[in-house]
A and B are shown apart, each in its own frame.
Chain A
């Protein structure tokens, strides 16, 4: 297994998990940031950025709208960045397995956020008489309790995911049979397909946006061919 700095990664996962909803919603929890930072903690920010860009493709699809349930990308992307950074992006299968680990963790993270909201609701019910009486300690206390619980949630999710997926990744890469180049191409094709579907769904409702998309694609493909 990789020699992961678990304490630093757990702290990072806790802070970035907190950013998703509770504080400060500065989008530090977006995959392109969180995975890069996760990679940087293990000493390979460039590999982390690769995983972050790939996960950002997927995250384009999920809008963090109010009460809806959506994957929690902050802690999950730290896991992806740390795993790919520890094993190296050149290692065949490392991108595929780290993306799988991140999306699975983000899914579980979404579920933990629902549980946290239920726990906050239970606490709010208990404090209802004090809140209705206008007691500042109840209002401020509820707010900080929610903040602390979310911090713990993000940290626990990160360390449990690392403890589960690090040995799995180690084992999988040891017996990875597919070609390194095709492995990377398949992983990127999967996430980019999600992104292209998401972009179409997101912008087709705006008058004229689809023509801007087509014009952009022409420019983008030309630039890709020239670079």
Chain B
């Protein structure tokens, strides 16, 4: 049997204040790493959100066989879009809203409202900030002569400290604040972090690219100097490429021409 939902002035708390045992939190946290496993063009992250919240929903009145559980699981498995790491905020907040027995229409509106901020903030903070920063840090270490183990340790260690911390923070802040989580998204780290990170990554890019270039080319000042000039000119041109002609396509084409030339040189020499 489902416990009756009680209407409240704010439409939030209808069941007793919910608790989430450590085991359930761990289950949700582990499932968050799989949130995108069934990513598709119909539901996007939707099924993943339902999948992650499912352990919490078992605590609804009636348990896994109850109507409340099934209704909530169906609701939480519909279309949803967000950055995969910051989706943890939504998972925590929606789990709380469901366990508090908030009105379904209100949960659906809240769910829709979360998509935009969690997507754009996550993309700027992680994909355009933290990931390039850690990648450039690894390239700088490579340029300074670090070996394979040290480079991998530095990259994976630094990146995943931020990655795991962001997921853990998201789940925690979402659960703590429930449907009032919007205020937590205005934290300085999320609001101003991407710009600070971009500046730090820009500084690091300037340092890392010449160093990594130097090590990858190997000894010989003349060749290195020539390559630096070519890279500066070609880089300026690459920055002006139309968006459809991405750099990797151009690199593929130039490498194909270079390989064909090198094979032709052998044939001519013979």
Contact = CB atoms under 8 A, between A and B. Distances in A.
B255 A175 contact: no
A12 B43 CA distance: 29
A215 B216 contact: no
B138 A189 contact: no
Contacts of B209: 57, 192, 195-196, 199, 217, 220
Interface in A11-66: 21-28, 30, 32-33, 36-37, 39-40, 45-46, 48-50, 53-54, 56-66
Interface in A150-195: 150, 172, 175-178, 181-195
Interface stretch (B106-114, B172-180, B225-233): B225-233
A218 B39 contact: no
A88 to B, nearest CB: 14
B259 A172 contact: yes
Interface residues of A, number: 112
B48 to A, nearest CB: 7
B269 A177 contact: yes
A156 B203 CA distance: 40
Given A46-B148, A96-B255, A213 B267 contact: no
A71 B227 contact: no
Contact of B248 (A103, A118, A142): A103
Contact of A197 (B39, B204, B236, B249): B236
A139 B47 contact: yes
Given A93-B262, A178-B262, A223 B207 contact: yes
A104 B71 contact: no
Contact of B147 (A46, A97, A121, A176): A46
Contact of A134 (B69, B152, B247): B69
B220 A216 contact: no
Given A46-B148, A216-B203, A196 B235 contact: yes
Dominant secondary structure at the B interface: helix
Contact of A142 (B47, B70, B134, B227): B47
A127 to B, nearest CB: 9
B22 interface: no
Contacts, number: 350
Interface string B123-159: 1000110011011101100111001110110011001
State the 4 A-B residue pairs at the shortest beta-carbon distance, nearest first.
A216-B206, A197-B238, A196-B235, A134-B70
26 contacts: A23-B33, A23-B34, A23-B37, A56-B135, A60-B132, A67-B41, A67-B44, A96-B258, A103-B248, A121-B42, A131-B74, A143-B34, A172-B259, A177-B262, A177-B263, A177-B266, A184-B216, A188-B213, A190-B258, A192-B213, A192-B216, A192-B235, A196-B235, A203-B202, A212-B203, A220-B208
Interface of B: 33-34, 36-44, 47-48, 50-51, 54, 64, 69-74, 77, 81, 83-85, 119, 123, 127-128, 131-132, 134-136, 138-139, 142-144, 147-149, 151-152, 155-156, 159-160, 163, 194-195, 198-218, 220, 223-224, 226-228, 230-232, 234-241, 246-252, 254-256, 258-259, 261-269
Interface of A: 21-28, 30, 32-33, 36-37, 39-40, 45-46, 48-50, 53-54, 56-67, 71, 93, 96-97, 99-100, 103-104, 106-107, 117-118, 120-121, 123-125, 131-136, 139-140, 142-147, 150, 172, 175-178, 181-203, 206-210, 212-221, 223-224, 227
